[in-house]
Amino acid sequence: MKNGHGRWFAWIAGVVLLVGCGPADGEATQPGEPVEEESTPPGIPAEYLGEGEVESAAICCNVKCSGTWYGPFPSIKYDLCAKYGRYYCPQKKLTYQGHAWRSC
């Protein structure tokens, strides 16, 4: 009797996992449909920016090597600025001294 119940439970659990792990109705996206990221904050509308001004989110990595600042490096991601500086300065035969985030 116990073996029959165990197989029945395993079968039911498998069905529940297969059916319950899909997206809910209306949440699925169609192929080719663009997906919007909800976590990105909205930018400043162009009408509020003066000529030549950039959004406040436009910051870039800058690296200090042997007393001189180098940069901006806009392609460097937030967590990688210090690591990039430790790579960049020795490539120029300079000593890495620090990094900072400044406007591009």
Name beta bridge partners: 24: none
pTM of the model: 0.45
CA 56 to chain centre: 18
**Which of 40, 84, 41, 43 has the alpha carbon at shortest distance from 61?**
84
Per-residue buried b or exposed e for 70-94, using 16+ beta carbons within 10 Å of the residue's own CB: bbbbeebeeeebeebbeebbeeeeb
Q: 78-100, pLDDT tens digit by residue?
A: 889 999 999 999 999 999 999 99
pLDDT given for residue 78 in this prediction: 81
Q: Report how far residue 5's alpha carbon sits from residue 73's, in angstroms, rounded to the nearest whole number.
A: 63
